[in-house]
């Protein structure tokens, strides 16, 4: 199966030179995904709304790859402020609580000061629930 590149339509992908996701065989690698609504290129000021939008964007990329959230095997969370991490736990549980992927959180600056969270996932087709 040839490598498949998936785009969200974000202007960032074209400007920077990356794909929202790359499918390589049964593996799907979803790039760090922020809370931007890529259809409108807007972002909420609210951390929890951004986290929800991250998962909508991730779900869209996985759907285009022919898989679902249930196939996620690894997740990495990046937040500029580590103290914000526990605030997001209910949203993480909502989307990944039954899946329980391997996880990691990093506190680091993001490329745009409006971004309050970035989430990256790896999925393997057919591995999930």
Where are the chain's structural domains? Answer: 4-124
Residues 42-71 have a mean pLDDT of 97
| Distance of alpha carbon 72 from alpha carbon 101, whole angstroms | 6
- Look at residue 117 and give its three-state secondary structure: coil
- Residue 35 tokens read as 């809370």
pLDDT in tens, 75-107: 999 999 999 999 999 999 999 999 999 999 999
Which CATH architecture is the domain 4-124 placed in? 2-Layer Sandwich (3.30)
How far is CA 43 from its chain centroid? 15
Is pTM beyond 0.75? Reply is yes
pLDDT of residue 9: 81
| Distance of alpha carbon 115 from alpha carbon 87, whole angstroms | 15
pLDDT of residue 8: 86
The count of C-alpha atoms lying within 13 angstroms of the C-alpha of 112, restricted to the half-sphere facing its C-beta, is: 13
């Amino acid at each position: 199966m040839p490598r498949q590149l998936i785009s969200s339509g974000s202007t960032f992908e074209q400007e920077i030179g990356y794909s929202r996701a790359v499918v390589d065989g049964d593996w799907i690698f979803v790039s760090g995904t922020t809370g931007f609504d890529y259809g409108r290129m807007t972002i909420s000021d609210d951390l929890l709304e951004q986290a929800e939008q991250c998962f909508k964007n991730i779900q869209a990329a996985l759907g285009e790859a022919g898989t679902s959230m249930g196939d996620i095997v690894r997740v990495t969370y990046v937040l500029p402020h580590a103290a914000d991490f526990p605030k997001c736990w209910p949203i993480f549980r909502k989307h990944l609580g039954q899946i329980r992927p391997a996880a990691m959180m990093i506190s680091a600056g993001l490329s745009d000061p409006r971004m309050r969270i970035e989430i990256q996932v790896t999925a393997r087709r057919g591995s999930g629930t």
